[in-house]
């Protein structure tokens, strides 16, 4: 994996180079409007935030329709008393006009808990170690769970800068 430390990533680079579990900041390059402009601020926040990369999809041709490649960022889970009420995920095509920056990578020794379905992997949880991953899996029933330890040979990436 090679990540360019000199500039922001586009959608194609995210799909090709960024591992599942990484936290990405995305931006359209516009300056943040002042707080008093609430509508403009909300619109800006819609295109300038961060999320964890949880899924990558290759292009598909079903014969009737063609679907471009893309990826999904998990922005948050909101709920009450441990019960999720709202899960916020954003789906992006690789052709998006947004720019992405890696702000956190999964560390060696962490374990990705994935569901594998229809040839696609989806990150359900990122655990600190295998024991935590197994405990999480026992509490959260999913079909087709796969444990994927983060390798020690992950490339060095400058965090906090555009990658």
Q: Give residue-wise pLDDT tens across range 51-96.
A: 999 999 988 887 888 889 999 999 999 998 888 899 999 999 999 9
Give the tens place of pLDDT for each residue, 1-24. 445 445 689 999 999 999 999 999
- How many helices (H) and strands (E) are present in the chain, helices listed first? 3, 10
Alpha carbon distance 89, 71 (integer Å) = 10
The model's confidence at residue 106, banded by pLDDT at 50, 70 and 90, is very high
Q: Which residues contact 75 (CB under 8 A, 6 or more apart)?
A: 49, 50, 51, 88, 89, 90
Which tokens hold the place of 130? 């295998």
* pTM for this predicted structure: 0.85
């Amino acid at each position: 994996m090679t990540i360019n430390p000199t500039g922001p990533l586009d959608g194609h680079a995210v799909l090709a180079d960024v591992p599942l579990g990484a936290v990405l900041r995305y931006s359209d390059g516009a300056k943040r409007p002042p707080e008093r402009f609430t509508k403009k601020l909300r619109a800006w926040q819609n295109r300038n935030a961060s999320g964890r990369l949880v899924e990558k999809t290759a292009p598909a041709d079903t014969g009737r329709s063609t679907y471009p490649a893309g990826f999904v960022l998990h922005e948050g889970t909101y709920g009450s008393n441990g019960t999720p009420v709202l899960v916020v995920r954003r789906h992006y095509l690789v052709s998006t006009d947004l720019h992405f920056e890696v702000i956190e990578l999964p560390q060696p020794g962490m374990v990705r808990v994935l569901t594998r379905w229809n040839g696609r992997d989806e990150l359900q949880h990122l655990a600190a170690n295998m024991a935590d991953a197994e405990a999480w899996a026992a509490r959260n029933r999913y079909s087709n769970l796969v444990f994927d330890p983060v390798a020690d040979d992950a490339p060095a990436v400058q965090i906090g800068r555009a990658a």
